[in-house]
Amino acid sequence: MAKIASHPSNTTVKMLFFGDSGSGKTGALVSLLKAGYKLFVLDFDNGLDSLIQYARAEAPDKLNNIEYETLTNRQKIAGGVAVPDGAPKAFSKGMELLTRWKYKTPEGETIDLGITGDLDPSDTVVVIDSLTFMSNAALDYVLYLQGRAGKQPQIQDWGEAMRMIEGALKILYSNEFKPNLIITSHVSYIGEEGGMLRGYPSTLGQKLPPKVGRYFNAALMARVKGTGGSAKRIIRTKSEGVVELKNPVSLKVPVELPLETGLAEYFKFAKGGK
Amino acid sequence: MTDETLPTPNIYDSQVPNFQIAWDSTSLGWFKTCPRLYYYNMIEHWTPKRMALPLKFGILFHKSFEVYEDHKASGLDHNGALLETVKWALDITWDRETNQPWTPDDPRRGRISLVRSIVWYWDFFQDDPAETVILHDGKPATELSFRMEFPYNTPSGDPILMCGHIDRLVNFADQIWVMDHKTTVRSLSSQWFDGYTPDNQMSLYSLASQVVFDTETAGTIVNGIQLAQEFIRIQRGFAPRPKPVLEEWIEASRWWLDQAQRCAEREHWPMNDKACHLYGGCQYRHICSQSPSVRKSDLKADFTQESKWNPLIPRD
């Protein structure tokens, strides 16, 4: 029989971090860097500029605490359509790094930081930026295997790619994957015809997005509040509108946190800090 | 190809005569399904008098991959290798006794279907993104037989051997995968692919590829080929086997081997009467439905004991 005090939720944050494009999801990670966390970032979006910019400005002494790998598939134009140029390796490379953080530097040196799932949750956050583009990378990977790179996916292709994404989420959600986890995601609005639209994490198909939330103990949202000069970027911790959020420490955490410090504040509350 | 002058390798323990010491996914699968089924197949060596058509077609189609790959590796281009493979298929499906083409009742698994499947498959995948690994001896990594020691000791003290045949090792997107070909008349839906995880055979192949072939494999790709009357459809799916899953499979298999040993020691092979109607119905269902005293005569009427399934003999 386990004791509540030793429940993994006390030590590990597994967060889905929603937000529309430009809402500041990636830049918000700098607060964790400043709080002393090491970030291991799988950059499927090829969009770390904001994080690097803020990190240089606000935590220049901690730049070496960011490990990242940009994971995009080379594309070429064939017949007026963008198709993968060679084997699309972004998804498989990402899965390899989620298993073991091992890579070669441009100078040819091998860096092996060990089994990713064994990284210390007290000072490490694995970030997948974003679920949206990771899902696209999975679909490209599946299509290439079928010999249909660049073609319209068939229903079985969607199914296979969705299985791969859900399989990855299950592994990341398990207690065997020890470090903290943040997966950023854009928002997809899905609903029954004539019914209400709901906002879900943007991933493949219509059946997978509503299931994604179950693999996280927290779901927060970055958004812009207000307009014009009074616009403010915040992190929302309580559901609002059609996007369902999740906050297991709702008794401690304010409904809104400033984007600049919010993730670090949330982590502090979630890990039992006051 | 087996040399008939060589003795058949023994696969049973010297101390417990009916305890199998060299297993494969087929025999392990039989035991897991039903100890009685296993007993009839592996201990008494009953086989249907006529090979089941899906099995026969599957064997031929598997073999065609090896034929094509061998010709490509020998230097022929795609068209040359394909022509040779089609010639092989036409030859192997000609009944020399009757001087007639092989014409089974199900046209989806007949001679024309075999040739069409070969042509369509290799025309589509002549530039297969999953490239066959070429072994150190220059041969393509197809139809690879393996044997590996398993962490379970026989009563005589030796480790159990796990055996099998990997259809193909491929390099896909800079990762090595086991690829296993599966022909079916069912549609290649997500549910069909779900049937391979969990799965005895895929787990064994994933394990074997890492242990035996000294290569870190990412898992298994199921190469599904749907056979229809006028066409084939091809779809591939992944059967991932992360390390914790393989470790669990090893532990579970040790338990099954222990059960098999107990059955052999007690000479008692109980029926699993919840499995009789699975997979289209067990071939021994009508046997087990009878009173024990009449089963033997029914077995002799419908089955033969001429061939013995032996995991140690490489597949021809």
* Contacts A164 to B, Cβ<8 Å: 238
Predicted confidence (pLDDT) at residue B217 exceeds the cutoff of 80: yes
- What is the structure's pLDDT at B78? 94
Q: Where are the beta strands (DSSP E) in chain A?
A: 14-18, 38-43, 66-70, 75-78, 81-84, 100-104, 110-115, 124-129, 180-185, 187-190, 198-201, 218-225, 232-236, 256-258
**How many CB pairs lie under 8 A apart between chains A and B?**
53
Considering only A4-18, B126-140, B160-174, B238-252, which range has the smallest mean pLDDT?
A: A4-18
Residue among B178, B238, B241, B248 with most chain A CBs within 10 A, to mutate: B238
Q: Do A147 and B125 touch (CB under 8 A)?
A: yes
Q: Do B172 and A87 touch (CB under 8 A)?
A: yes
Considering only CA atoms, which of B57, B62, B15, B308 is closest in space to residue B166? B62
Mean pLDDT of chain B: 90
- What is the structure's pLDDT at A193? 67
Q: What is the pTM of this model?
A: 0.86
Predicted confidence (pLDDT) at residue A197 exceeds the cutoff of 90: no
* Contacts A88 to B, Cβ<8 Å: 173
- If pLDDT is split at 50, 70 and 90, which confidence band does B4 have? very low
- What is the structure's pLDDT at B136? 83
- If pLDDT is split at 50, 70 and 90, which confidence band does B55 have? confident
- Between strands A187-190 and A198-201, the pairing is antiparallel
Q: Do A146 and B221 touch (CB under 8 A)?
A: no
- To the nearest whole angstrom, how far is the Cα of B223 from the nearest Cα of chain A? 9
- To the nearest whole angstrom, how far is the Cα of A81 from the nearest Cα of chain B? 20
How many CA within 13 A on the CB side of residue B31? 25
The angle at the Cα of B43, spanning B41 to B48, to the nearest 5 degrees, equals: 30
Nearest to B130 among A99, A145, A149 (CB): A145
Tell me the per-residue pLDDT of A31-72, one tens digit each, with 9 for 90 and over.
999 999 999 999 999 988 889 999 999 999 999 999 999 999
Tell me the per-residue pLDDT of B258-276, one tens digit each, with 9 for 90 and over.
999 999 999 999 999 999 9
Tell me the per-residue pLDDT of B161-190, one tens digit each, with 9 for 90 and over.
999 999 999 999 988 999 999 999 899 988
* Residue of chain B whose Cα is closest to the Cα of A141: B173
Predicted confidence (pLDDT) at residue B214 exceeds the cutoff of 80: no
- To the nearest whole angstrom, how far is the Cα of A250 from the nearest Cα of chain B? 34
- What is the structure's pLDDT at A118? 95
